[in-house]
Amino acid sequence: MEDSKPTEYRVDLDVYNGPLDLLLYLIKRDELDIYDIPIAHITEQYCKYVDLLKQIDLTLAGEFMVLAASLIELKARMLLPRPVLEGDDGEALDPRLELVRQLLEYKQFKDVARELGQSAQLAASRYPPALRKDDLQLDEAQRELDLRDVAVWDLLEAFDKLMAATLAGKYQHEVIYDDAPIELYEADIIDRLRTEGSLSFSDIFRGRVTKGEIIGLFLALLELIRQELIRAEQSKATEEIYIFPITTGQAESTQANDPDNSH
């Protein structure tokens, strides 16, 4: 059974969730040495994520396929005799050097951005109580969300396992189109969170059996996280991811009094 995803919707990943970020995630997840990357292994794992992204958003996957092609080329070069640079005492040039350089530069920029964010939080904590963010009249979109414990790639990995378990053994010849707008799935998630307080990642998809519905809910989940209306938490990398609402009584009141603040 082959379903289409909700139409006219595109996943929006920020600059820190691009191809190099995925590589760093895989290196950290598999506890690899960034200076001695096993190219065959990392290429296989990277391409699995690219295949998953193709199911969700082919345009977005195209941005990752460029690096996938480079990894495949690098994998082939690792099997060939390595050129030797003159004056290097016969030491062969490692084809991975350029990739390692790019990863280290990217990691440096990302670390600096995180440190600046932490410095801003520390400075904010020193303000008098009357000037703290929680006491200001801010709507929910202006509040800060900390999702460092659960990266987009953690959500994608959980989504891949869910898809495999839910659609295992189903026929692939029937085409069912899902025209439900993404806002409908977002409203469903928010309503359930308001009622139950929190949901596990798998509970979000409970009762959904078609590929279109599952993808629609997952896209809605990513969009709600991006809009800082929900947060995702995970105590350990191998344990269940839990989803919590970020809405407060004050934020709901602000939204209710603002007729232009529609989603």
Residue 174 has pLDDT above 50, yes or no: no
Percentage of the chain with pLDDT > 70? Answer: 65
Task: Tell which wins on pLDDT, 217 or 180.
Answer: 217
Look-up of token digits 């963010």: 133
Model confidence at 239, pLDDT cuts 50, 70, 90, reads confident
For residues 231-252, give the mean pLDDT: 73
Residue 257 has pLDDT above 70, yes or no: no
Looking at residue 123, its pLDDT comes to 67
Q: Torsion angle of alpha carbons 165, 43, 38, 110, nearest 10°? A: -90
Residue 191 has pLDDT above 90, yes or no: yes
Burial class (CB in 10 A: 0-12, 13-18, 19+), 186: buried
Residue 237 has pLDDT above 50, yes or no: yes
Give CA–CA dist 22/59, Å, rounded.
Answer: 17
Looking at residue 41, its pLDDT comes to 94
Give CA–CA dist 95/64, Å, rounded.
Answer: 20
Where along the chain do its domains lie? 2-256
pLDDT in tens, 79-133: 887 666 655 555 567 888 999 999 999 999 888 877 877 777 666 666 554 434 4
Looking at residue 91, its pLDDT comes to 57
Range with the poorest average pLDDT among 19-23, 135-139, 215-219: 135-139
Burial class (CB in 10 A: 0-12, 13-18, 19+), 21: buried
- Work out the mean pLDDT of the chain and round it to a whole number: 75
Determine the 3-state secondary structure of 77 from DSSP. helix
Contacts of 71 (CB under 8 A, 6+ apart): 39, 42, 43, 46, 47
Task: Tell which wins on pLDDT, 39 or 251.
Answer: 39
Looking at residue 146, its pLDDT comes to 38
